[in-house]
A and B are shown apart, each in its own frame.
Chain A
Amino acid sequence: MHEPRESNDKKAERKSPSNDDLNLVGTPFRRVDGRAKVTGQTRFADDLTFPRMVHMKLVRSTVPHARIVSIDTSAAEKMPGVLGFLTGESMPHPFGILPVSQDEHALCVDKVRFVGDPVVAIAAITEEQAYEASLVVKVEYESLETISNVEEAISTPEPRIHEYGDEGNLHKKLSMQFGDTDAGFEEADEIFEDVMYFEGNTHLPMEQHATVALTEETDRVTVYSSTQTPHYLHRSLTKVLEIPAARIRVIACPNGGGFGGKSDPFNHEICAAKMSLKLGRPVKISLSREEVFYCHRGRHPVLMKIKTGVKKDGTLTSQHLQTALDGGAYGSYGVASTYYTGALQTVTYNLPKYRFDSIRAFTNKAPCGPKRGHGTPQPRFAYEVHLDKIAHKLGIDPAEIRMQQLVDPESVTSNWLKVGSMGLGKCIEAVVEGSGWKERHGNLPDGHGLGLACGSYLSGAGLPIYWNHMPQSGVQLQLDRSGGVALFCGETEIGQGSDSVIAAITAEVLGIDLKDIRLCVADTDLTPVDLGSYSSRVTLMAGNAALQAAERARDLVAKGAAEELKVPAKELVFAEGRVFHGENPDTSMSWQDAVIAAESRFGTLGTTGSYVPPRSPGRYRGAGVGPSPAYSYSAAVVETRVDRETGIYRVEHVWMAHDVGKCINPAMVMGQIEGSVYMGLGEAMMEEQVYRRLPKKRSNALVHKHPSLLEYKSPTFADMPPVTSYIIEDPDPNGPFGAKEVGQGPLLPMMPAVANSIFDAVGVRVDQVPIAPHMVRQAIEAKDKGKEGRFGPKSFPEIDFGTPLRVPTPEEGGDGKAVNIDEAGVRDGTGTMTERTDAVKGGE
């Protein structure tokens, strides 16, 4: 039993904590995984080794589009150490992250679709032996015509890369119209139009993907993997291996960076599991850096046309955005990406009428998917540069044109997104003030410029990837007489700090030390489902689940403590490892004793918490992409120095403000802001995942231009400018303690802000990213010669997007539904991206 507390106990002299006072949340506490990470104790998937473990390699396609004529493994079978092979027939069921795009196979069946598509898996005693054997596997191909870009996909409907999709080689085609956009354009004093291009790029996590699979009994398999989405991997394994989910265990190891590149279930993960089942031994596969470039799922290359009607005072009246995405060889998240290239245009500045058309093409390149900002950085780039041009033309300050038409908090946009807290105004004010924007923009000496841009992102997608009514995050707490709290949650730590966030929320509510919380995460056998670390959902969703579980645990312990302390339970306060009577802090007991009191009365203690996002008001087909419980906002000012003679430019300073709702840990929030600035700079200045054709006689293949860290240009420390970060807190009622996301949002303003700063410095526009020095130089040269000072795409292809789905806006008295379902040839929806029928179809 507890010791009576001395009245001169230091704790008693402190301010008595109340539930309004946060002790841990909001402070820069040390990450729970920090020490292990910096001392090399963290076990990433590739660090794992098991008795009798063998190694696997994949033989990948060397041609971009072909039928597989034959596979000859006879020479490889004779190689030393070789234990077994797998080919596509052994895993005939297709899989894919979205129920509507179940188009991948663990190993290619009949056909390969890009250079890098896996065809054969080989296991051997050592990794070198598996590699040597992989070199002598002979695959004979019959080449098919290669589709290398969107234009070719449009003009070459046959041969189809996939036998499904909206038409020919177009995977997805959509057109949506919110309100009477034509009337909107008529109201405008001026109409602006731009064509912009955003090149594809990849995530470049430091950790290369790795998986280890173990077979425990004949039909039970455990898969350790560097995955951001263990739950979705679990589903794909069940489907392809034809083993009940309950007999498959997926454990996501801490990821050495993901950024979206580990959010798809991958062929190598499924092959490792299958191989392990086949051999009855643990099987490991660690991808080479080159293979990581083939896994890709990175930023889609997007060509965009943006047309906006504006009043003389800068008020936007209508916008028409068209986007064309180069999807690569598989569906991946592509359908969602396609919608995302339009969905969030409306959440920053009032856009009363809005039309959005888009296509996603299949091409014979590594599949594109979600990368930090998923589908939204491309149109955000177009919009923010376009707005800069509009402001310049109308003689309005670029910060002002944004400030004067910010979306209202607690409002519904023209495309039926419900906006909660909205701190963009404060973000703009912070960076304007910090950078000296008012005095300096437009007034710096030649070659020096400031550029401003904004962005917004989801705090979790409102809908799960497959149709269901279950929680999107769950947390389970187990408390016992040790005073320790075990926290079980399916969330995955990918470096973003999610372990620390859920632990801190729990510790805050229970008033205990972070060290007394034991985390068990991302293990499908042991932890409640969390959908994964994507769409910036974990802090809000898993955080809310942790909050609920912790509050329930606190209430349970409070009941026990109240009886012991003989005060009403609701008057108890939990802080500093003790339970106090709020009125009279001298009446208290230690947390451990309180748990003992509760355990004595109620038996074994445990609570759960779960989270389901609120329903979104949109009811049209496609309304499933875009809704989120809360939107984060960011604004940036970038200062750049441009050398006119060479076009070489340097970003010299970045001011970035981010509305995170409520900051759980400022050090971690700043880390995410700075990391986003860094990644955004790479996208703005140099990163590109691009391809080139092999000579005709060598199959005309489309190969990755530089699948290596030597040639794929990415910034280093030496390219990184000083960053001044501003954490803006506009709490959102849907977030735990008001918290919103920070992992992706601050990336968005970087690319347009860099482009806008170059314009301020030397008066030319580069309407595409990455912006290479020679593009700046060429634009300057053109301007000097009296031509348009611009470098960028010339035109947008003629595309028939079909009849738009017409959805009246809230202002027009709409009800969130489309009014011309028959005419537009689409079904109405419940607001879900993947409806039950699709889900069932895709899942079977």
Chain B
Amino acid sequence: MRPFKVIRPTNEKEAMEQVSKGNASYLAAGTDLLNRIKEHVASPDSVVDLKSLPGMNTIEVTDQGIWIGALVRLSAVSSHTDVLSRFPAVCETIIHAATPQIRNMATVGGNLCQKPRCWYLRHEGYSCVKNGGTGCWARDGENEFHGIFDNQICSATQPSNLAPVLVAHEAVIEIASKDGVRELTADQFFIGPSSDPLREVSLEEGEFVRRVMLPESTRAGSWAYEEAREKQSFDWAQASVTLLLDRGGRKGDHRVVLGAVSPAPLRRSDIEKKIDGSDDEIAEASGIAGAGATPLSENGYKIPMLKGLIGKAIRSARSRKEG
């Protein structure tokens, strides 16, 4: 591994200054960043350790919702009683992410800002639109795990398990920036390649995520999370479905967000509309899973897989409600 300098800023301003100097990266737990350094796909001269900043490691429960600091470990979120009781889908998606060891280390901020798993992007031998070059190797190459929606420019999928559920809950992402704090909703935060192929999240130079808020107003009446992956113990998803029913007690206020099939979490209001309690809602909803999909040579299987997952999610959310 290439040596690098570790900088421990004492305040947010210093952190932003340090990271803007030369070739530097923010560091949280390092479970993603260090892998990329080891694999020679990232080579920062210095890393700015966010863990030295105060106040980003707490979960705060308010009437408006639950604020989760960017440095809170994934396992701390999934075992937090208030998160569990009010936003159980969030905990479920976390439990599907990585391994217990990784979840004990990995932070929420790092999870949202991890780089995609495209195996071309993660090999030092390739350059493509995503790392400043041109073209996409996966398009005509090996794309078994790539996206089937919005995949014209870059088909690498958003790897974060948290991303879809945050979009479904319309979570607020609080960002520290040079001009103070700014907020984005999760669906504004995660971006696709047409906005900027170099980024997956809309953080500007020097900015970092301070905390995330799960709004009380989006608590679900029932919910489900279904995920398919190649290896069952731990693996990144091949496809996932996050389903929230009757959010905020509003009948029919559903959310269906697909994960691991597109560059940003994909909300599917067309599918939401089919979930109407009718007898054939499952067939109707899963039947249109592939609408708008443009599968590549090796990933067409994701459409039938999504169909299966949507059916399972509806059954599971319905039975949870009844049970």
Cβ of B170 to closest chain A Cβ, rounded Å: 28
**Separation in Å of the A718 CB from the closest CB of chain B?**
4
CA distance A293 to B99 in the complex (A): 23
CB of B42 to closest CB in A, whole Å: 15
Are the C-beta atoms of B141 and A645 separated by less than 8 Å? no
Q: Is the CB of B123 within 8 A of A703?
A: yes
Answer yes or no: A840 CB below 8 A from chain B CBs: no
Contact A686 B230 (CB under 8 A): yes
* A781 / chain B contacts, CB cutoff of 8 Å: 304
> In the complex, A718→B144 CA distance in Å?
24
Binds A, one of B22-30, B46-54, B273-281, B308-316: B308-316
For the complex formed, measure the closest distance between the CB of A69 and the CB atoms of chain B, giving whole angstroms: 20
For chain B residues 294-318, which have a beta carbon within 8 Å of chain A?
301, 304-305, 307-309, 311-312
Closest approach, in angstroms, between the C-beta of A780 and any C-beta of chain B? 8
User: Do A685 and B231 have beta carbons less than 8 Å apart?
Assistant: yes
Interface size class of A (residues with CB under 8 A): 20 to 34
Number of interface residues of B (CB under 8 A): 29
Q: How far is the CA of A772 from the CA of B298 in the complex (A)?
A: 13
Stretch in A91-99, A396-404, A550-558, A709-717 with 4+ CB within 8 Å of B: A709-717
Q: How far is A777 from B228 in the complex, measured between Cα atoms in Å? A: 12
Interface residue A719 (Cβ < 8 Å from any Cβ of B) = yes
Stretch of B7-15, B157-165, B196-204, B233-241 contacting A (4+ beta carbons < 8 Å)? B233-241
Q: Is A773's beta carbon under 8 Å from chain B? A: yes
**B119 lies within 8 A of A716 (CB):** no
Contact with A along B125-142 (1 / 0, CB 8 A): 110000000000100011
Check A777–B301 contact: CB distance below 8 A: yes
In contact, A645 and B311 (Cβ under 8 angstroms): yes
Determine if B125 and A703 form an interchain contact, defined as CB atoms under 8 angstroms apart.
yes
B305 and A701 contacting across the interface, CB-CB below 8 Å: no
Q: Is the CB of A643 within 8 A of B308?
A: yes
B126 touches A705 (CB 8 A): no
The residues in B between 217 and 256 inclusive whose CB is less than 8 angstroms from any CB of A are 228-235, 238
A648 contacts the other chain (Cβ, under 8 Å)? yes
Number of contacts between A and B (CB, 8 Å)? Answer: 75
Inter-chain CA distance A706–B137, complex, in Å, is 16
Whether A648 contacts B228 by the Cβ 8 Å rule is yes
CA distance in complex: A647, B307 (Å): 12
Q: How far is the CA of A694 from the CA of B126 in the complex (A)?
A: 7
Given the complex of chains A and B, what is the CA–CA distance between A647 and B229 in angstroms?
10
Identify the interface centre among B305, B309, B311: most chain A CB within 10 Å of its CB.
B305
* Complex: A648 Cα to B312 Cα, angstroms: 13
Answer yes or no: A774 CB below 8 A from chain B CBs: yes
**CB closest residue in chain B, given A135:** B2
| Interchain CA distance A777-B238 in the complex, whole Å | 13
Identity of the chain B residue whose Cβ is nearest the Cβ of A713 in the assembled complex: B231
- In the complex, A692 has a CB within 8 A of chain B: yes
> 8 Å CB contacts to A: which residues of B14-60?
35, 39
A645 adjacent to B234 (CB under 8 Å): no
Distance in angstroms between the alpha carbons of A713 and B233 in the assembled complex: 10
A778 touches B (CB below 8 Å): yes
* Contact B231 A645, beta carbon cutoff 8 Å: no
Q: Is the CB of A692 within 8 A of B305?
A: no
Contacts of B301 in A (CB 8 A): 647, 774, 777-778
What is the CA–CA distance of A720 and B229 in the complex, to the nearest angstrom?
16
**Are B119 and A647 in touch, CB under 8 angstroms?**
no
Nearest CB in chain B: distance from A711 CB, A? 7
A706→B304 contact, CB < 8 A: no
Cross-chain contact of A719 among B232, B304, B309 (Cβ < 8 A): B232
* Given A694-B126, A698-B125, also A686-B231 (CB < 8 A): yes
Q: What string of 1s and 0s marks CB contacts (under 8 Å) between A236-280 and chain B? A: 000000000000000000000000000000000000000000000
Query: Which B residues are in CB contact (< 8 Å) with A773?
Result: 228, 230, 238, 305
Residues on A with C-beta less than 8 A from B234 are 716, 718
- In the bound assembly, the distance between CA atoms of A646 and B229 in angstroms comes to 9
What chain A residues lie within 8 Å of B312 (beta carbons)?
645-646
Residue among A648, A706, A708, A781 with max Cβ neighbours from chain B (10 Å): A648
Docked-complex contact A719 and B119, CB < 8 angstroms? no
Q: Give the residues in chain A near B142, CB-CB below 8 Å.
A: 692, 705
- Closest A residue to B308 by CB, please name it: A645
For A645, list chain B residues within 8 Å (CB): 304-305, 307-309, 311-312
Query: A646 touching B309 by the CB < 8 A rule?
Result: yes
Q: Tell me the smallest distance from the CB of B219 to a CB of chain A, in Å.
A: 29
Contact (Cβ within 8 A) B308 A717: no
- Chain A residues near B229 (CB, 8 Å)? 648
Which residues of B (49-99) have their CB < 8 Å from a CB of A? 99
User: Are the C-beta atoms of A717 and B233 separated by less than 8 Å?
Assistant: yes
Contact of B305 (CB < 8 Å), options: A698, A710, A774: A774
21 contacts between A and B (CB under 8 A): A128-B3, A645-B305, A645-B308, A646-B228, A646-B308, A646-B309, A647-B305, A648-B232, A686-B231, A694-B126, A701-B125, A708-B39, A710-B35, A715-B233, A717-B233, A718-B232, A719-B233, A773-B230, A774-B144, A774-B301, A777-B304
Show the binding face of A for B, using Cβ within 8 Å: 128, 643-648, 650, 685-686, 692, 694-695, 698, 701, 703, 705-706, 708, 710-711, 713, 715-719, 772-774, 777-778, 781
Would you list the 7 A-B pairs with minimal beta carbon distance, nearest first? A645-B308, A718-B233, A774-B301, A716-B233, A646-B308, A719-B233, A713-B231
Contacts beyond the supplied A650-B232, A698-B126, A710-B35: 10 A-B pairs with Cβ under 8 Å: A644-B308, A645-B312, A646-B305, A646-B308, A706-B119, A713-B230, A716-B233, A773-B238, A774-B144, A774-B301
